[in-house]
Chains A and B, each alone.
Chain A
Amino acid sequence: MKFQKRLLRAEPNFQILTKLWQVNWLYVILICALAVVGYVALYSAGGGTSRPFAGPQSIRFCFGVVMMLGIALMSPAILVRLAWPLYIFSLILLVAVLRMGHVGKGAERWLMLGGMQVQPSELAKIALVLMLAAWFHKISYRSMGNPLLLIPPALMVLVPVALVLKEPNLGTAVIIGTVGASMFFGAGMRLWQIALLILPVPMLARIAYSHLHDYQKARVTTFLHPESDPLGAGYNIIQSKIALGSGGMWGQGYLHGTQGQLNFLPEKQTDFIFTMIAEEWGYVGGVTVIGMLLLLVFGGMLIAMRSRNQFGRLLGLGISMNFFLYCAVNLSMVMGAIPVGGVPLPLISYGGSAMLMVMFGFGLLMSAWVHRNATFGETTPGEKD
């Protein structure tokens, strides 16, 4: 540590290299390991070629790594200043997707930008994490007791949730809401406030259900009775469970999963990629992947705890929660524990904007790690950093 400080003082131009050295490389290696798992699985999903899925995805990942390292070097002070513009931009994209979005499977989720499909709700999640971290960083822990100061961040959560619900994308809306809530929790929201908020939840849930689209209600019912609609929504759940189960302890062997290779699994390269892995690599493979994901989640939480500033702590918490929820929802989905809802498995599923946003998030997490010892702007809301 001392050596680094001296180096910094002596040679400011080496700052970038120092920061690069500071990056948590162990964590980066873990990320790369999961990306390799993803490549291997997509190679199989493509029927034993890198052509349709694995190749493009690995190029995106390399680009993502560069982006992640770039963001890791950015000081939290800059990130705090970026929070508002990025958040507003993400809201504009969410509105744009409702206005002129590309309709796929009955819901508007994508925006065509320069020939590329972008899913603005992905950006909104990361922007919200950044925004909330910046907000709570500035208002300090002591003033958390003042409920008035909780209203703006609550709106920051509810606006994107409402826009995403309108798409309609129930799964993502729930994830955004939960990430937001966990950040309130981590920021030190008083327990009585939490209790007050939880009380009306069952009633709200009932109201929310009555406002669901028919196809979403249908999803809930086919989830309960997948056999009632073997051609429609039930098909995926049934086939996914069969594929998982047939993997057994050791799997059917790489490139030899009958379900995946014979195309019984629709969308196997995206939402159902884990099914493909667990079919070919068995329980051993599946649990290894879950373990790696858990390591990433816990690693992120530990990074958050190590930070000496509230911004870094909450950034780490938000990113880790987001990553965790993605994994948990996707895995529960393919195991038939919750209704299918179009949530990919981060780092592994095929898809551009999801991959880039996951790496963007990891970049923020790395920045929180690199600058973990910075203490700035806290408890003095009026003062500029």
Chain B
Amino acid sequence: MKLRKKKSGNRLMSRPEEGKNPSRGVFTRRALLLMAAQGAVLGALGERLYGLQVLNGSHYAKLAENNRLSKRFFAPPRGRITDRFGISVAANRVNWRALLLAEETSDIPGTLERFAQLVPLEPRDTTRIEHELRHKRRFIPIMLRDFLSWDDMARLELNMPSLPGVLIDVGTTRVYPFGPLLAHVVGYVAPPAEKDVVHNAELALPGMRVGRSGIEQTQDASLRGQVGSVEMEVNAVGRVMAELDRDEGLAGDEITLTIDSGLQQQVLGRIADQSASAVVMDCRNGEVLAMVSNPSFDPSLFDSGVSQAQWIEWTNNSQTPLINKAVSGLYPPGSTFKPAVAMAALRAGTLSPSDRISCPGYIDVGGTRFHCWSRYGHGSINLRQGLKYSCDVFFYEVARRTGMDAIAATSELFGLGARLPEIELPHVRQGLIPTPTWRRAHGHHWNGGDTIVSGIGQGFVQVTPLQLATYASRIATGRAVQPHLIRSVAGRLAGLTDLGHATDMDMPGTFFEDIRAGMYAVVNEEGGTAPKARLDIPGVQMAGKTGSAQVRRVSRAMRESGHFNSANLPWEYRPHALFICYAPYDAPRYATAVVIEHGNAGADVAAPLARDIMTDTLRRDPVNHREPPGQEVAQAEVD
């Protein structure tokens, strides 16, 4: 009522404009314009529909007919991974399994119930199946049970008519013939997580696995291959009448590693039960022949899910079996860092090969006394002797003269504390060569003492065993060798394996000669620190460098008491034992780095281990063998 009154009132007031109300006129015009547009759009859609249904109707009718050929997708076999001699290190095992295609049964609970009567389902299976039924698209099969026995299959086949939507299908599962031996390099696969499936529908297919570590992870895309499909003729209710066409998809690429599994086994044998890692490289082209990180784990456990107890055991183990120490373990390099410091000094001109530095057993810098490992000192020595005796005072002084920025720049060229971009592994750590700039960025002042301790690879310096092996290779060849693990993919040789690939390092050859001579003396001359590393092969010499990296500051009191013996310390406080080397000295072929966690002195523990590894490596050199070495060993392991 109220409204009506107002209405008439307004009408009276607006009477003079009645009929030519500007807003109404504009609205009408514009509304007609919009209607024209709306009509045009719907008209165009009608036209498009005419094109689809009438003009191209027969084309689509044929496609629809083909659609009665229901297409079913399946996972392709994952690419094999082999060692350099073609021996499988990751392969596939046939796995018979029962699948359910939800779109082909009208009564899913009934089908499942009948299925469970024939082949029992665990409660774990049931919850998984229910989850997948809710989340997967109806045309993607769901796995009911895998690893069916012949009995199971016979029972199912017999009852197929009462099990609409159930298929028996052959898939594969991953097997790792060498188990823990190559677990860190090869990695493992696991069923895809839900978030993976969101990004890639293919992963929803039963049997699809995702690489979670090692080569399996980094090369996942090429190992996975292309999804295959089967075309089946289905009748009006969806029952399969016949298989018409099969697209096998593309099996994943076969990847050949640079690893020699026989050598890997021998290296592991040498390491035995020590918590250690070792890397053997072909120092001419960067091929990693062996990469051992001990202890290890069994990669096949991940395929079906790792038990809680197992996981806790792994993660609580102080020797970190799940971590690949060769690329993820960070260690102070200790004295193995000295050749890099020497090269930095030579390049900076702060040291010449003939310069002599006097070692009285200690050096005083900025009011602090830094000790040499030898209490009695080494006397007046030159670079070659400094390396040979691994004199700390010599390198304290060299580092002091050269400065940390120059040392960091040179050692990074050797790969220390640097990214090694070509190594095909995940979780590769970069380590650190500290510089004053870095220290300031973390809010601290860099003082002279930091340079001194860095000069012998202590303090903040941290590198990985792979970096040490690369460093040894680069010293041996003078070329910027890039470590890598893949020799070929699908039969195509990787470019890095090419001998000419590595470029020369921008350092004078004579400097390399001086440093190599020092490293030769370490092993082969009277009084060198590593006589135990001398090779027992006639005519072949090895050059190397020892290192014992303290993980805990040694107090002066302990040192001066004279009774200090790190072997009496608890295991986790003992120094790491390190050794880097290459051989043959006159024609470098292989480089090795060994790090034994808390192994005490590099000279006593790491040097003989490196010698043994190098001996094995040289004995396996293909030049000495017509047949791939270790074939029989590897075969025995597969069976």
Tell me the A residues contacting B by CB distance below 8 Å: 8, 12, 47, 75, 77, 106, 140-142, 182, 185-188, 214-215, 229, 231-232, 235, 239, 241-249, 258-259, 261-264, 266, 278, 282-283, 286-287, 290-291, 293-294, 297-298, 301, 304-305, 308, 310, 313, 317, 320-321, 324, 327-328, 331-332, 335, 337, 373-376, 378-379, 385
Q: Is the CB of A378 within 8 A of B53?
A: no
Q: Given the complex of chains A and B, what is the CA–CA distance between A106 and B199 in angstroms?
A: 10
Chain B's closest residue to A264 (CB) is B67
Q: Is the CB of A232 within 8 A of B67?
A: no
What's the nearest-Cβ distance from chain B to residue A285, in Å?
A: 10
Interchain pairs with CB closer than 8 A, number: 179
B309 within 8 A of A: no
Known: A258-B68, A290-B42, A376-B10. 7 other contacts (CB 8 A): A232-B201, A241-B52, A246-B57, A262-B70, A266-B139, A301-B31, A335-B48
Of the candidates B35, B53, B140, the one whose C-beta lies within 8 Å of that of A245 is B53
Interface residue ranges of B118-155 to A (CB < 8 Å): 137-140
Q: Is the CB of A375 within 8 A of B14?
A: yes
Q: Is the CB of B53 within 8 A of A297?
A: no
Q: Given the complex of chains A and B, what is the CA–CA distance between A165 and B638 in angstroms?
A: 56
What's the nearest-Cβ distance from chain B to residue A274, in Å?
A: 9
Q: Given the complex of chains A and B, what is the CA–CA distance between A244 and B7 in angstroms?
A: 52
Interface residue ranges of B282-324 to A (CB < 8 Å): none
Q: Classify chain B: how many residues form its interface, as a range.
A: 35 or more
Q: Is the CB of A262 within 8 A of B49?
A: no
Nearest 3 CB-CB pairs, A to B? A245-B60, A141-B23, A246-B64
B28 within 8 A of A: yes
What's the nearest-Cβ distance from chain B to residue A295, in Å?
A: 10
11 residue pairs bridging A and B, Cβ less than 8 Å apart: A244-B52, A258-B67, A259-B64, A262-B234, A263-B103, A263-B139, A286-B46, A294-B42, A304-B31, A328-B38, A375-B7
What's the nearest-Cβ distance from chain A to residue B154, in Å?
A: 30
Q: Is the CB of B45 within 8 A of A244?
A: no
Of the candidates B7, B27, B38, the one whose C-beta lies within 8 Å of that of A313 is B27
Q: Is the CB of B201 within 8 A of A301?
A: no
Interface residue ranges of B1-59 to A (CB < 8 Å): 1, 3-4, 6-7, 10-11, 14, 22-24, 26-28, 30-31, 34-35, 38-39, 41-42, 45-46, 48-50, 52-54, 56-59
Given the known interface contacts A245-B61, A278-B53, the answer about A374 and B45 at a Cβ–Cβ threshold of 8 Å is no
Proximity bits, B232-250, A CB within 8 Å = 1, else 0 = 0010101000000000000
What's the nearest-Cβ distance from chain B to residue A334, in Å?
A: 10
Q: Is the CB of A75 within 8 A of B28?
A: no
Please name all residues of chain B whose beta carbon is closer than 8 Å to the beta carbon of A310 when the two chains form the complex: 23, 27
B520 within 8 A of A: no
Of the candidates A186, A278, A320, the one whose C-beta lies within 8 Å of that of B49 is A278
Q: Given the complex of chains A and B, what is the CA–CA distance between A264 and B67 in angstroms?
A: 8
B73 within 8 A of A: yes
Q: Is the CB of A266 within 8 A of B38?
A: no
Most chain A CB neighbours (cut-off 10 Å) among B22, B64, B200: B64
What's the nearest-Cβ distance from chain B to residue A205, in Å?
A: 19
What's the nearest-Cβ distance from chain A to residue B224, in Å?
A: 14
Q: Is the CB of A229 within 8 A of B236?
A: no
Tell me the B residues contacting A by CB distance below 8 Å: 1, 3-4, 6-7, 10-11, 14, 22-24, 26-28, 30-31, 34-35, 38-39, 41-42, 45-46, 48-50, 52-54, 56-61, 63-65, 67-68, 70, 73, 103, 106, 137-140, 198-202, 227, 234, 236, 238
Q: Is the CB of A282 within 8 A of B3?
A: no
Q: Given the complex of chains A and B, what is the CA–CA distance between A357 and B437 in angstroms?
A: 63
What's the nearest-Cβ distance from chain A to residue B152, in Å?
A: 28
Please name all residues of chain A whose beta carbon is closer than 8 Å to the beta carbon of B50 when the two chains form the complex: 283, 287
Q: Given the complex of chains A and B, what is the CA–CA distance between A98 and B244 in angstroms?
A: 48
Q: Given the complex of chains A and B, what is the CA–CA distance between A215 and B27 in angstroms?
A: 40
Chain A's closest residue to B50 (CB) is A283
Q: Is the CB of B42 within 8 A of A297?
A: yes
Q: Is the CB of A188 within 8 A of B56?
A: no
Chain B's closest residue to A9 (CB) is B4
Q: Is the CB of A248 within 8 A of B49?
A: no
Q: Is the CB of A246 within 8 A of B61?
A: yes
Please name all residues of chain B whose beta carbon is closer than 8 Å to the beta carbon of A259 when the two chains form the complex: 64, 67
Q: Given the complex of chains A and B, what is the CA–CA distance between A291 and B198 in angstroms?
A: 38
Chain B's closest residue to A246 (CB) is B64
Q: Is the CB of A385 within 8 A of B3?
A: yes
Most chain A CB neighbours (cut-off 10 Å) among B60, B70, B200: B60
Please name all residues of chain A whose beta carbon is closer than 8 Å to the beta carbon of B60 when the two chains form the complex: 241-242, 244-246
Please name all residues of chain B whose beta carbon is closer than 8 Å to the beta carbon of A261 when the two chains form the complex: 236
Q: Is the CB of A301 within 8 A of B35?
A: yes
Chain B's closest residue to A336 (CB) is B52
Chain A's closest residue to B227 (CB) is A231
Given the known interface contacts A245-B53, A317-B34, the answer about A332 and B23 at a Cβ–Cβ threshold of 8 Å is no
What's the nearest-Cβ distance from chain B to residue A220, in Å?
A: 16
Given the known interface contacts A328-B41, A375-B10, the answer about A245 and B63 at a Cβ–Cβ threshold of 8 Å is yes
Given the known interface contacts A141-B23, A186-B27, the answer about A376 and B6 at a Cβ–Cβ threshold of 8 Å is yes
Given the known interface contacts A241-B60, A283-B53, the answer about A229 and B34 at a Cβ–Cβ threshold of 8 Å is no
Of the candidates B31, B38, B63, the one whose C-beta lies within 8 Å of that of A246 is B63
What's the nearest-Cβ distance from chain A to residue B236, in Å?
A: 7
Given the known interface contacts A246-B64, A294-B42, the answer about A317 and B59 at a Cβ–Cβ threshold of 8 Å is no
Of the candidates B35, B46, B68, the one whose C-beta lies within 8 Å of that of A290 is B46
Q: Given the complex of chains A and B, what is the CA–CA distance between A207 and B546 in angstroms?
A: 59
Please name all residues of chain B whose beta carbon is closer than 8 Å to the beta carbon of A243 when the two chains form the complex: 64
Q: Is the CB of A106 within 8 A of B198?
A: yes
Q: Given the complex of chains A and B, what is the CA–CA distance between A324 and B37 in angstroms?
A: 11
Please name all residues of chain A whose beta carbon is closer than 8 Å to the beta carbon of B199 when the two chains form the complex: 214-215
Chain B's closest residue to A376 (CB) is B6
Q: Is the CB of A290 within 8 A of B49?
A: yes
Chain A's closest residue to B39 (CB) is A294
Please name all residues of chain A whose beta carbon is closer than 8 Å to the beta carbon of B202 when the two chains form the complex: 231
Q: Given the complex of chains A and B, what is the CA–CA distance between A69 and B64 in angstroms?
A: 44
Q: Is the CB of A245 within 8 A of B56?
A: yes
What's the nearest-Cβ distance from chain B to residue A206, in Å?
A: 24
Please name all residues of chain A whose beta carbon is closer than 8 Å to the beta carbon of B30 when the two chains form the complex: 185-186, 188
Chain B's closest residue to A266 (CB) is B137
Please name all residues of chain A whose beta carbon is closer than 8 Å to the beta carbon of B63 when the two chains form the complex: 242, 245-246
Q: Is the CB of A245 within 8 A of B11?
A: no
Please name all residues of chain B whose beta carbon is closer than 8 Å to the beta carbon of A232 when the two chains form the complex: 200-201
Please name all residues of chain A whose beta carbon is closer than 8 Å to the beta carbon of B234 when the two chains form the complex: 262
Given the known interface contacts A248-B53, A258-B236, A385-B3, the answer about A332 and B45 at a Cβ–Cβ threshold of 8 Å is yes
Please name all residues of chain A whose beta carbon is closer than 8 Å to the beta carbon of B34 when the two chains form the complex: 182, 185-186, 301, 317, 321
Q: Given the complex of chains A and B, what is the CA–CA distance between A335 and B42 in angstroms?
A: 12
Q: Is the CB of A245 within 8 A of B52?
A: yes
Q: Is the CB of A263 within 8 A of B238?
A: yes
Most chain B CB neighbours (cut-off 10 Å) among A8, A214, A294: A294
What's the nearest-Cβ distance from chain A to residue B96, in Å?
A: 24
Q: Is the CB of B201 within 8 A of A231?
A: yes
Q: Is the CB of B138 within 8 A of A266?
A: yes
Q: Given the complex of chains A and B, what is the CA–CA distance between A264 and B60 in angstroms?
A: 14
Given the known interface contacts A301-B31, A301-B34, the answer about A249 and B42 at a Cβ–Cβ threshold of 8 Å is no
Please name all residues of chain B whose beta carbon is closer than 8 Å to the beta carbon of A294 when the two chains form the complex: 38-39, 42
What's the nearest-Cβ distance from chain A to residue B47, in Å?
A: 10
Q: Given the complex of chains A and B, what is the CA–CA distance between A263 and B198 in angstroms?
A: 22
Q: Is the CB of B45 within 8 A of A317?
A: no
Q: Is the CB of A245 within 8 A of B68?
A: no
Given the known interface contacts A241-B52, A245-B59, the answer about A258 and B64 at a Cβ–Cβ threshold of 8 Å is yes
Q: Is the CB of A249 within 8 A of B53?
A: yes
Of the candidates A185, A308, A320, A328, the one whose C-beta lies within 8 Å of that of B42 is A328
Q: Given the complex of chains A and B, what is the CA–CA distance between A305 and B53 in angstroms?
A: 36
Chain B's closest residue to A251 (CB) is B53
Q: Is the CB of A378 within 8 A of B10?
A: yes
What's the nearest-Cβ distance from chain B to residue A15, in Å?
A: 8
Please name all residues of chain B whose beta carbon is closer than 8 Å to the beta carbon of A8 when the two chains form the complex: 4
Q: Given the complex of chains A and B, what is the CA–CA distance between A106 and B42 in angstroms?
A: 31
What's the nearest-Cβ distance from chain A to residue B38, in Å?
A: 5
What's the nearest-Cβ distance from chain B to residue A305, in Å?
A: 5
